A and B are shown apart, each in its own frame.
Chain A
């Protein structure tokens, strides 16, 4: 089991080959690996729990990251022109996670050095968002990045390192993530990192799928994959409804 975890961590690039891996182990799981968005979905909470087997001295810290599916996002800025406000400039960023929240045992700056946090993108400022602009203007770029994070935070999709990881026993930990109703569907990753005195000693990543369920999912999938069929069905539905209404409310 330990060997498999380490192999997995190496495979995921979480632990570099040059690092000395100490004999700590980390095992985690999620309360649910599948979140279904139905018509009455109002958000849910996800429990990430696990066990740490510490060998040797040193302070252990656990960081749990919930990362949403990555998509390009265009940020647009309105400017006042011709007396009205209109979208005047835009930048598209690649690799923007649709959801991002972090839970930690201690504030991140006490867990590890900034370089280490940046390597694994453990907080919002460390997210690697690649702008597609040909002529990057550092000031404007900072504005657009700031706006992206601010708007995602306002939508409840970006939480930053604001959640606690609590130990219920000496080696059992848990972190609770609250996900909102507007969480984007797709493949999520739950990543758990175990630090010993600021040094990464174990890591684990497990998948989480968020999918629309039932009729909503079928409609959404149909509209994207077979738009012509979706359109035809929509028109038939509307014509039938109109016909029915004319029949029900016809004047004698």
Chain B
């Protein structure tokens, strides 16, 4: 059954879309990641214009991050103050990112930049994940415990002004740091249509030194607001948010996520990370191939607005 996407202006099989949503939801439930980094490339592979894929993936992420964040809020694993500071940075980042996105679109380079960003970020992240999980698996076989990290590392980071006490995370650090992380992730969110959890979570653990149990819930709070802001700016500036597309994806992903959580329960952390690493590298390679391989057609058309 075909469904017409009014903003993407194309007809697509509704079961394919639903299946993509469910598949990505399954992954996000299983691995505990947002899944935006798979959603945007999948939509591009399915023929959705990259700019619309980004806007609609961001919109779909609003729903999934709100629902996951509420679960964390109930468990008390959200640092609201930290989340608010990161959100302020994220909102600024998404505004700047959306402006850049508009410029790139007019220059005809937005598809290239989307693909390049994915190749660079996913390639790097996937490789790191693969190495890490391989190391852990090898160490586990030798029966050695991983070396413990120091809880607090003092450095240039602690000399920054505007220090705030984050009670819930038991931190006294400059607000510029979480705001800066939020800004960077906001930029990524608006250009790639991802939540940015895959960058933000390590940054919060290693750069901010936040307690691990607070990290996911707090990052989800930021993601919920930032993806909402990305949705707003993209809908306003480039009209690339397809509500029909994102609502079908979202229905699939909600169901997929529940199944994914169940599937992931029995699996070891390093195996999950290894699998995720393989997936991330595969997506990056798929997009890289699209850039490197000689295109089937050198020419492309864009119908401009107006007369």
Which of B184-192, B203-211, B237-245 contacts the other chain? Answer: B237-245
Task: Judge whether B148 is part of the interface by a CB distance below 8 angstroms.
Answer: no
Task: Judge whether A78 is part of the interface by a CB distance below 8 angstroms.
Answer: yes
Interface size on A, residues (CB 8 A): 63
Task: List chain A residues, Cβ under 8 A from B142.
Answer: none
Interface size on B, residues (CB 8 A): 56
Task: List chain B residues, Cβ under 8 A from A84.
Answer: 112, 116, 291-292
B106-118 CB contact bits vs A (8 Å, 1 = yes)?
0011011000100
CA distance A242 to B299 in the complex (A): 41
Pairwise interchain contact A76-B108, C-beta atoms closer than 8 A: yes
Instruction: Give, as a whole number of angstroms, the nearest-CB distance from A228 to chain B.
Output: 6
Pairwise interchain contact B109-A87, C-beta atoms closer than 8 A: yes
CA distance A245 to B292 in the complex (A): 41
A151-B299 contact in complex given A223-B241, A228-B236, C-beta closer than 8 Å: yes
A238-B60 contact in complex given A41-B11, A87-B112, A219-B7, C-beta closer than 8 Å: yes
Which residues of chain A in 85-105 are interfacial with respect to chain B, using CB atoms and an 8 Å cutoff? Answer: 85-87, 90, 92, 96, 98
A231-B236 contact in complex given A83-B292, A246-B67, C-beta closer than 8 Å: yes
A238-B246 contact in complex given A39-B4, A41-B11, A86-B112, C-beta closer than 8 Å: yes
Which of B77-85, B121-129, B227-235 contacts the other chain? Answer: B227-235
Give the A-B pair count, Cβ closer than 8 A: 181
Pairwise interchain contact B231-A235, C-beta atoms closer than 8 A: yes
Binding site for A on B (CB under 8 A): 1-4, 6-7, 9-11, 59-60, 62-68, 70-71, 74, 108-109, 111-112, 116, 224, 228, 231-232, 235-236, 239, 241, 243-244, 246-247, 250, 254, 258, 291-295, 297-304, 306-307
List, sorted by A's number, 29 A–B pairs whose CB atoms are closer than 8 Å. A39-B4, A40-B3, A70-B307, A71-B303, A75-B299, A76-B302, A77-B298, A78-B298, A86-B291, A87-B108, A90-B108, A96-B303, A147-B299, A150-B299, A151-B301, A212-B6, A216-B6, A220-B7, A231-B235, A234-B59, A235-B62, A238-B246, A239-B224, A241-B250, A242-B67, A245-B63, A245-B67, A246-B66, A249-B258
